[in-house]
Structure 1
Amino acid sequence: MEVSTDLVRGCLLYDFKVGLLAAASSRRICQAFGDSAVNERTVRRWFKKFKSGDLSLRGEPRSGRPQVLNDGVLKAAIEEDSSLTCGEFVRQFNVSNETVRIHLHRLGKTFKLSKWVPRTLLEVHKRQRVTACISLFSRHRTASLFNRVLTSDEKWVLYETPKRSRHWLSPQGAAPHTARPPMHSRKIMLCVWWTGRQVVHYELLPTGQTVTGDLYSQQLKRVQQALSQKEPALVNRKGVLFLHDNAKPHVARVVRDTIQQLGWETLCHPPYSPALAPSDYHLFHSQDNHLRGKSFTNEADLRQALTDFFASKTPEFYRKGIEQLETRWQKVLDADGDYFED
C-alpha cells in the first residue's frame, strides 16, 4: 500500500506531541499503513527535528535538481538493515524512488525473499555441525566413504502437481491463469533408500500410516534383503555406512538395535541439517521436477511413475548426489556452522 509522505509526517508530529517513543510510533504507523510506511531510524530523525522546535512537515531544503545519493551511504544503510524497502530508502534519504533504484542497481543489489530454514541455529547447533563435518572430512580423507554410503529419507508425494508455465507477453498482455492446488491435496508418504549407484528400495505407506520406530526397523530389514540382491559387495565385504537424519523414529532404541544387528555403521548427521542430506538436496529436487505437471488417479500409477523415474537415472546421477557431501561439509566449515547458500 502506497501512503503519502505528508500523511506519514502528520502522524509523526501527532505521535511526537502525545509523547510516543520513536519505536512505538514506527510500529503504530506501519501497522496502519503497511511495513514500508516508515522505519524507526526515520522516525528518530523527525522527532529530533520536532524537539529542536521545528514543527514544520517540510523535508530538508532541496535545490531544483534531484538530490545526489552517495553509494557508500546507501551501502552502509543496507548493511545495517538489508530488509529495508525502496520506499523506506526514499524517505530516509529524501530522494526519488528512481534514484534509489539506480543506485541499488549500481551496487548490484536485488531484493530477494528470505529463505525458510528448519530453525534458527543456536551456537550449540553450529558447533555440532562443525564437529560432525570435521569428523566426516577426516575419515573420508583417510579412506573414501562414498562407495559405502546408504542414505534414506521420507517425503510426501502429491497425486497432482500443477505446473505454472512462463509466457512471453506484451506489456499489456494478461498472463494465463493456473488454478492453485487444493490446500489439503491428496498425497502419500514415500520412503526411499539409495546408494551412489542406484535406488535400492522404496515404499509408499498406506493412507493414514506414519513412520514409527517399529515400522522403520522392519523397513530396514527389507532394505537389507534388497541390498543382498542388488549390492552384495556392500553387505558382504565393504560394510554399510548408513546416513539418515535425526527424526525421532530414526533414533528409537528398536532402530538402533536393528542397525547393530544388521552390521551397519551409522554416519554422523548433525541436527537441523537438510542441506547435508543427499535425498533433500539431490534426489527429491530432481524428483519434484520430474513429477511437476503430472496427475495420478491411483497409487499404482504414482508408484509406476516413481519406479520409472528412479530407473531413468544413471549411476552417475546417484554418484554425484553422494559425492556432493564433500563440498557441503566444506561449506558448513566455511560458514562456521551456520546455514549456507546453495
Structure 2
Amino acid sequence: MKAQRKDMCTQLLECYNSDGEAFLQRIRTGDESWVHHYDPEGKPQLMEYRHKTSPSPRKFTAVTSAKKFLFTLFWDMEGVVHIEFLEQGQTVNSEQYISTLRALKLRFRRVWCDKDSILQHNNAHPHTSRQTQDALRQLELTTLPHPAYSSGLAPLTIICFPNSRST
C-alpha cells in the first residue's frame, strides 16, 4: 500500500512539474455529505412586544425535524462547480452517481468549453464500481488516482463550512 501511495504521489508531482499551475486549475474535486435541516418551532406570541414587568415569554426550542438529505458537491480552485441535492431518503449508488457525472460533463462543456478537466473523487463504491468506471470512459472524464483510505483528500467540510473548527 505504501508503494502504491508513493507511486501515485510521484505521478501527481510529475504532472505538476510538467504543467505547473495549469494542472491544478484542471482539477475538479467531488464529494458527498449529509445536511441536517432544523425547523425551529415557536409561537407568534414570541414576536409580540411586552413590557419589562410582563412575564417572560416561553422560548422556542429547536426540534430536530425529519429532514436529513444528502448532497453531492464538485468544486475547483475558483469555487463550487456543480451541486446536486438528493431527495430525502435517497442515497448515492452507481446509477445515481453516473447521472451526476453526466450533468457534471454538461456543466464542463458549458463553462469550460469541454476543456480537459480532471476529476478527483474518493474511492467509495459508487465511484469505483464497474458501471461508474465504464461511464467515466464513455464520458471521457479523466480521474486522479486516489489511494485507499485517503478520505482526507476531499475535505468537503472545509469547502462548505470554512469557519468551522474541528476539535
Fold shared per TM-score above 0.5:
yes
Runs of 4+ in 1 over 6 A off after TM superposition: none
Residue from 71, 81, 97 that aligns with 1:216: 97
Mapping of 1:1-342 within 5 angstroms? 124=1, 126-144=2-20, 145-160=23-38, 186-232=67-113, 235=114, 238-277=115-154, 280=155, 283-288=156-161
TM-score, length basis structure 2: 0.73
Task: Supply the distance in 2 between the matched residues of 1:199 and 1:149 (Cα, whole angstroms).
Answer: 12
The residue identity in structure 2 corresponding to 1:134 is T
Identity of aligned residues (%): 31
Deviation at residue 205 of structure 1 after TM alignment: 0.5
Matched pairs, number: 141
Spell out, residue by residue over 1:190-244, the C-alpha distance to the aligned partner (whole angstroms, 9 max, x if none): 1011222232211111111111111111111111111222222xx1xx4121111
Contact 1:194 1:200 in 2 (8 A): yes
Contact 1:148 1:240 in 2 (8 A): yes
Deviation at residue 264 of structure 1 after TM alignment: 1.5
Spell out, residue by residue over 1:136-186, the C-alpha distance to the aligned partner (whole angstroms, 9 max, x if none): 1122111132111111100011214xxxxxxxxxxxxxxxxxx9986x974
SS at match of 1:207: coil
SS at match of 2:161: helix
SS at match of 1:208: coil
Structure 1: stretches of 5+ with no match in the other structure: 1-123, 161-178, 293-342
Deviation at residue 133 of structure 1 after TM alignment: 1.1
Task: Supply the distance in 2 between the matched residues of 1:284 and 1:231 (Cα, whole angstroms).
Answer: 26
Task: Supply the distance in 2 between the matched residues of 1:133 and 1:202 (Cα, whole angstroms).
Answer: 28
Task: Supply the distance in 2 between the matched residues of 1:196 and 1:288 (Cα, whole angstroms).
Answer: 16
The residue identity in structure 2 corresponding to 1:251 is T
Spell out, residue by residue over 1:279-312, the C-alpha distance to the aligned partner (whole angstroms, 9 max, x if none): x1xx52242356x7xxxxxxxxxxxxxxxxxxxx
Task: Supply the distance in 2 between the matched residues of 1:251 and 1:276 (Cα, whole angstroms).
Answer: 16
SS at match of 2:149: coil
Spell out, residue by residue over 1:75-125, the C-alpha distance to the aligned partner (whole angstroms, 9 max, x if none): xxxxxxxxxxxxxxxxxxxxxxxxxxxxxxxxxxxxxxxxxxxxxxxxx3x
Task: Supply the distance in 2 between the matched residues of 1:190 and 1:229 (Cα, whole angstroms).
Answer: 22
Deviation at residue 130 of structure 1 after TM alignment: 2.2
Contact 2:97 2:127 in 1 (8 A): yes
Task: Supply the distance in 1 between the matched residues of 2:12 and 2:133 (Cα, whole angstroms).
Answer: 20
Spell out, residue by residue over 1:245-287, the C-alpha distance to the aligned partner (whole angstroms, 9 max, x if none): 100000111211111112111111111112222xx1xx52242
Task: Supply the distance in 2 between the matched residues of 1:155 and 1:213 (Cα, whole angstroms).
Answer: 16
Contact 2:67 2:88 in 1 (8 A): no
Contact 1:200 1:230 in 2 (8 A): no
The residue identity in structure 2 corresponding to 1:222 is A
Structure 2: stretches of 5+ with no match in the other structure: 39-60
RMSD (Å), alpha carbons: 2.5
